[in-house]
């Protein structure tokens, strides 16, 4: 009878032990990955309190977070986030709609590449922020100039990585597809485009970061709302905790944006073999 009870309990105990072991391993990986961030946060909190840095210029992290909570409660932070996200998402979406088709055409059709390459080489070496005064002169200080700057800065990583992805397809795949009798349209849709998707998403993720970084710089000039405006306004008025709130908010949005793009990338590249940890 005792042996029968032991045989019933042992599988349950082993299952519980496995769950505990999995939880411990997950917790260990989480601590290892976030350890450096926790150390930076602790240093940020401690340094101004012990006098290593001037608290007026680098307030403790807890004070910055408390200010962020106040701005969130009174609605100011949300209004700035909405303004920045609306500009960023519109420009980012338009950049994808321009960069991906144009990159596919340049990468696949030699005639298109020969015709456009001289112009692309000139424009790609012109920094986006250097053109900010031009956009302001032509489009004014309203929404159009900021969105246009985001489109310009985001289009280049998408365009160049799309071209690289199309040209980097294994020639053996193309040759095999042609020997199987695929038409040019079928070859492009079933072979070229799927093989180029991972490289295209590299450019899209880079553009996602650019859409926020360039926009923040644009919002520091001629804007009345947005995270860039919040940062520069807080600096001018010596509201240093609010300035750091804007910086941390941009960081959080960038990380969230990148995470969402990685999920979309996994959805479109589900055929790829995941690397083993």
pLDDT tens digit sequence for 53-66: 888 888 888 999 99
For residue 70, the tally of other CB atoms under 10 A from its CB is: 14
**Rounded to whole angstroms, how far apart are CA atoms 261 and 258?**
5
Q: Is the dihedral of CA 239, 69, 88, 262 positive or negative?
A: positive
Q: Please tell me what DSSP assigns to residue 109.
A: -
What pLDDT score was predicted for residue 277?
45
**Rounded to whole angstroms, how far apart are CA atoms 31 and 8?**
36
pTM as predicted: 0.78
What pLDDT score was predicted for residue 95?
93
Q: Residue 271's pLDDT band (boundaries 50, 70, 90)?
A: low
């Amino acid at each position: 009878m005792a042996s029968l009870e032991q045989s019933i309990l042992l599988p349950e105990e082993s299952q519980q032990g496995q769950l505990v072991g999995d939880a411990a391993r997950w917790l260990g990986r989480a601590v290892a990955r976030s350890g450096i961030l926790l150390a930076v946060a602790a240093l940020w909190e401690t340094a101004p309190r012990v006098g290593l840095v001037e608290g007026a210029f680098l307030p403790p992290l807890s004070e910055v977070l408390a200010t962020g909570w106040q701005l969130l409660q009174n609605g100011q932070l949300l209004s700035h986030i909405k303004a920045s996200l609306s500009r960023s998402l519109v420009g980012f979406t338009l950049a994808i709609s321009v960069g991906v088709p144009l990159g596919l055409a340049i990468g696949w059709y030699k005639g298109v590449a020969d015709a456009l390459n001289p112009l692309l080489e000139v424009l790609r070496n012109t920094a986006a922020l250097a053109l900010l005064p031009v956009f302001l002169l032509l489009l004014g200080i309203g929404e159009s100039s900021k969105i246009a700057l985001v489109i310009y800065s985001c289009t280049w990583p998408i365009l160049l990585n799309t071209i690289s992805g199309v040209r980097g397809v294994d020639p053996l795949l193309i040759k095999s597809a042609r020997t199987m009798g695929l038409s040019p349209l079928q070859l492009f849709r079933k072979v070229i485009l799927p093989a180029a998707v991972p490289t295209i998403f590299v450019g899209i993720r880079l553009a996602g970061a650019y859409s926020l970084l360039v926009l923040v710089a644009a919002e520091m000039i001629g804007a009345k709302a947005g995270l860039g405006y919040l940062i520069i306004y807080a600096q001018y008025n010596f509201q240093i905790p609010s300035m750091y709130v804007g910086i941390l908010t941009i960081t959080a949005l960038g990380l969230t944006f990148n995470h969402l793009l990685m999920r979309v990338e996994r959805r479109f590249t589900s055929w790829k073999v995941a690397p083993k940890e």
